[in-house]
Amino acid sequence: MSGSTGTLWGLLHQNSPVCLVLYSSIGTLDDTIETVRLVAPSLWRPTRTTDVEDAFRKQDEPLLLTPDDEVAAIMTLDGRREALIERAAPVIMFLLKGGSGEQALRRAPNLAGWLRDAIFDPEPGELDVEQEQCRFAEVTGRSPRQWLDAWQRGDIPDTLDNNVIYQRALLLGEG
């Protein structure tokens, strides 16, 4: 599944110059960024930026790029992709799932080709929410809502795995 912790871990440890992380709504963006920070290599000190030019200027820093104009950012990275080859740490770009930036990848073959093994979608498409809620309950012993309540009470330890489960509970708990 493209939403597993393993995928995110692999993606952040594979030395790609650019990675893409999708978020489902602006309200979940900060949580998604926090998950990335947690799974990222411990030595990283990622910098958050909205300016795509930082990808070219700051070649040694891991960047968390949340572009104000997603389409312009995609087109810039597509047109100047090769200038990123020597990056010592990745640009992790956050795009709204199904938004104009993700759609622009269909017109950006150079960047899209690089990203085929470097996209993290915390919530892959065609989700059967009811079925996933049942599966969640089977695995954790709680419904997503109950799990979130327990998390907020501090009953669940703040571990890496539980942070990823938290993301999933957030998505499934809304339903």
Partner 1 sequence: MPLNWSKFSPHRPLRPNDPLHVRRPDGGGDQIADWIKAGADTVAIAGPVGSGKSSELAWTASRLQTGFVVVQVPLDRLLDMRQVTEEDVFIQVAGRVVDVAKNYLHIPLSEALLRRLTQADNSPSLPGKLVKPGRDLLLNTLREVSDRSHQGALVLLLDGLEKCEAESAMSVVRALLEVRHETRVVFVAPYPLVVGSGAHELVATIDKFYFVRAVPVRRDQGKHGEDGRAFLREIVRVRLDLPTLPDDLAALLDRAAEASGGVPRSFLQLVRAASQHAALEERNALNLEDVQTAMREHAENLERELVDGDIDQLRAADGTSGVEVPEERRLRLLIHGLLLEYRTNNTTVVHPAPLLQGVLERRGDA
Binding footprint of partner 1 on the chain (CB under 8 A): 1-2, 6-7, 9-10, 13-17, 75-76, 78-83, 85, 102, 105-106, 109-110, 112-117, 119, 121, 124-125
Q: Tell me how far, at minimum, the Cβ of 37 lies from partner 1, in Å.
A: 19
Q: Which is nearer to partner 1, 75 or 137 (CB)?
A: 75
Q: Which of 24, 38, 25 is nearest to 163 (CA)?
A: 38
| Sign of the alpha-carbon dihedral angle for 5, 7, 10, 16 | negative
Q: Which is nearer to partner 1, 60 or 82 (CB)?
A: 82
Q: Tell me how far, at minimum, the Cβ of 143 lies from partner 1, in Å.
A: 27
For residue 19, which phi and psi values (nearest 5 degrees)?
Answer: -125, 155
Q: Tell me how far, at minimum, the Cβ of 26 lies from partner 1, in Å.
A: 20
Q: Which is nearer to partner 1, 112 or 150 (CB)?
A: 112
Q: Which is nearer to partner 1, 118 or 169 (CB)?
A: 118
Q: Which is nearer to partner 1, 109 or 175 (CB)?
A: 109
Q: Tell me how far, at minimum, the Cβ of 145 lies from partner 1, in Å.
A: 28
Q: Tell me how far, at minimum, the Cβ of 65 lies from partner 1, in Å.
A: 17
